[in-house]
Structure 1
C-alpha cells in the first residue's frame, strides 16, 4: 500500500495554510511568555487525549481521565479510558524529550511498538538465537522436575548464544512470531503488514521535509488516516503530527492539541473523498486548535492572577501555592486530589478550595469537583 503525494492544489490550500501558520505562531509566543504556560501545557494533554477518543467515536469523560491518572478511580476503568490514558502518557513522553525523538527509530519503536518499525539494517545471524527446541526429548519424561530442568537448560543455552553473538558484534534477529497466535485473530488481521505500512508513512515523512510545516503536518495526518499503519494504535497519528510541528520549530512551547481542533471540523470534511478537501479540513483544525488555545490561556492567566491575589500575605508554609499549581494543571480537581498534592487532610483541602473560590463543576453533594472552566 502506497501514498502518493502527487500534485497539490496550492491555490486552494494557501489561505488555510497561512491562517494555520499565523495562529500557531501566535499561540506559541503567548504560551511561552504566559505565567500560566505550564498549566496550559499539562491541561492540553488531558483535553487532547479525550478529544482523540471523541474523534475516534468513543466518549471518555475528562473527570474520569483525571482521576484515573491520579490513581483515584471511583469505578473500574473502561477499555476506552485505558486507551485515553495511554495517549495521555504518550503525549507527556513526547513533550518531555527532544523534539526530534518521536521520529527517531528508537522513538517510533517506543511509541508504536518495535514490531511495527523496520530496522535500517538487517543483521544476519549464522546461528539463529531463540530457536532452542523446548519440546525436546526430555519433555517426554513423565517427571515434572525433569521438564523444569529442561526449560532452565534451554534458557541458559539461549542466553549463552546471545552473549557469544554480541561479543562477535553480530546482533541476531529475534525469532519470528506466529501471526496465528492464540487470541490474535480476534484483535489483529494477519494480512495487515504494519511494518510495510509504517515504512511507507516514514517515506512520506522524508518526502515532505522541505514542505511548509503545517502543510507537511496535514499530509502526514492524511497519510496516516489513509495507510492506517497500526491496527491498535490509530490515535498515535495525531500525536506524531503534533510532534512534527514541534520538531520543525513551528510550535516550541507546547505540544499542539490537534484533536481538539478536529472536534470543531465536521466529520464530512474530515472524511471527504477528495484529498484537497481533507487537507483543508486538517489545516482548519490546526487553526481551530490554536483559537481554543487562545481562550484557554487567557482563562488560565486570569484565574492564576485571581488565586495568587488571594494567596498574598499567607505564611511561607501555606499549602495554597501547591493547590494553585494543581488546579491550573488539571481540567478538574477533587478534594482527594488537592489533599494529595498539598499534603493536607480532605477537610483541609476543602478549606483551601473555599479560600481560592474556584468554581464547582458538578454541583452534587456526593461527588464534588472544581476547576477553572
Structure 2
C-alpha cells in the first residue's frame, strides 16, 4: 500500500495546507486539475495547492537533503535571487564553520535561461520607453510593471529572511528532530521568508524531518493534523502553546495516516475479490491501482490509465463497486475515500 498511500497523502496534505491558510480547495478539483481534466476554470487557490502538490512530489523523489540545499530551495521557491546567493555558506560563516564552496558545473539549461532573461530585459526596456512620457510618475509606474517587481516586493529581502531561518536550523540541529521541526515551523511562520510561497513552509518542515531520519518511508505532513487544532492554539501569542499545537498536529496526522492505510488495505482486498475468474488481460487491475492512488477518479482518468473507452471505464467502475461522491449526472467522480 506504500505507493498508493504516499500519492494520496500529497493530495490531502496540499488541500489541508490551503485550509489552514484560510482557503478552501476541494480534493476532487485538485485531483482533476493534476490530471489536466478540469471541469471548470482553475482558481488561484487551486493553482497554489497544485504548486504545493508538485513541490511535495519533487522532494519525495529527491535525496533527503536536496530540499534544504541552495539548489533545492531555489527550485522550490522559483527565486533566481536565492539561487544566485550561497545561503549555506552564509550560515556556516556566521556559525564559525565556513568552508569554501566547490565550483558547480553550469546548468544544462543555462543557455535557454539566458535567452529568456535577454527577452525579459528587452521587454523591460520597451516598457520603460513607453512610460517616459510621464517623467514624474514613470519611476513608480515602472516599479509596478517591470520585471520581477510585478510579482515580488523588492523590499521583502528573501535572502536575509532565509539566512535567519537557516540560522535557526543550525541552532536546532542537535535537538530531537520533532522538537527541531516544531521550532523551524514556528520560525518560518514568523519570518515568512519566501514571498508568495507561504505554503512552502510546511513542505520544508516535512523535508527536514525526512532529512533527520524521523520519517524515512515517505514525506511527512502535518497540515492534515493542524485542521483539528483550534486556531487560537495555532496562532497563540505564547510560543510554547504554538509549539505544543504543532506536536499535537503531528500526532493527529500520524493517526490519520494509520487509519488511511487500514482503509486502503481493506478496499484493496474487497476490490481484488472481483478479479477472481477474470482473464489475465483484464483492465480491472489497472483501474484498481489508479483508484487506490488517488482520493477520487473520473471515468476519463480510468479510461486513460486502463486504455479503454469512457464507456468501458464506466463498466470497470460498476464491476468494482466503488463509491460515487459527486451525486451528479455529469462530471462524476468515484473513490474509496
Superposed CA offset, 1:304-336 (max 9, x none): 111112113321111111100100000001111
Aligned to 1:101, the other structure's residue is in SS state coil
CA shift for structure 1 position 181: 5.6
Q: Please identify runs of 4+ aligned residues in structure 1 that moved more than 4 A.
A: 183-187
Aligned to 2:156, the other structure's residue is in SS state coil
**TM-score of the two chains, using structure 2 as the length reference:** 0.81
Q: Distance in 2 between matches of 1:227 and 1:67?
A: 34
Please say if 1:230 is aligned against 2:181.
Answer: no
Please say if 1:370 is aligned against 2:301.
Answer: no
Q: Distance in 1 between matches of 2:324 and 2:318?
A: 10
Q: Distance in 1 between matches of 2:328 and 2:143?
A: 50
Alignment match, 1:332: 296
CA shift for structure 1 position 188: 3.5
Root mean square deviation of aligned Cα: 2.4
Identify the match of residue 311 of structure 1 among 270, 275, 289: 275
Please say if 1:248 is aligned against 2:212.
Answer: yes
| Higher RCO, 1 vs 2 (CA within 8 Å, ≥6 residues apart) | 1
Aligned to 1:204, the other structure's residue is in SS state helix
**TM-score of the two chains, using structure 1 as the length reference:** 0.74
Q: Distance in 2 between matches of 1:82 and 1:220?
A: 26
Alignment match, 2:15: 50
Please say if 1:65 is aligned against 2:30.
Answer: yes
Q: Distance in 2 between matches of 1:83 and 1:266?
A: 23
1:217 touches 1:245 (CA, 8 Å); kept in 2? yes
Q: Distance in 1 between matches of 2:64 and 2:80?
A: 20
2:4 touches 2:292 (CA, 8 Å); kept in 1? yes
Aligned to 1:102, the other structure's residue is in SS state coil
CA shift for structure 1 position 185: 5.8
2:11 touches 2:295 (CA, 8 Å); kept in 1? yes
Report 1:67-106 matches (<5 A): 67-106=32-71
Alignment match, 2:74: 109
Alignment match, 1:180: 143
Q: Distance in 2 between matches of 1:225 and 1:88?
A: 20
Aligned to 2:143, the other structure's residue is in SS state coil
Q: Distance in 2 between matches of 1:346 and 1:191?
A: 52
**How many equivalent pairs are there?**
290
Give the structure with higher Rg (CA): 1
Structure 1 portions without partners, runs of 5+: 1-35, 124-128, 140-178
CA shift for structure 1 position 180: 2.9
Q: Distance in 1 between matches of 2:82 and 2:188?
A: 14
Structure 2 portions without partners, runs of 5+: 90-99, 104-113, 127-141
Superposed CA offset, 1:103-142 (max 9, x none): 112111111223235313799xxxxx999xx99xxx9xxx
Q: Distance in 2 between matches of 1:114 and 1:291?
A: 39
Please say if 1:282 is aligned against 2:246.
Answer: yes
Q: Distance in 1 between matches of 2:82 and 2:196?
A: 11
Aligned to 2:174, the other structure's residue is in SS state coil
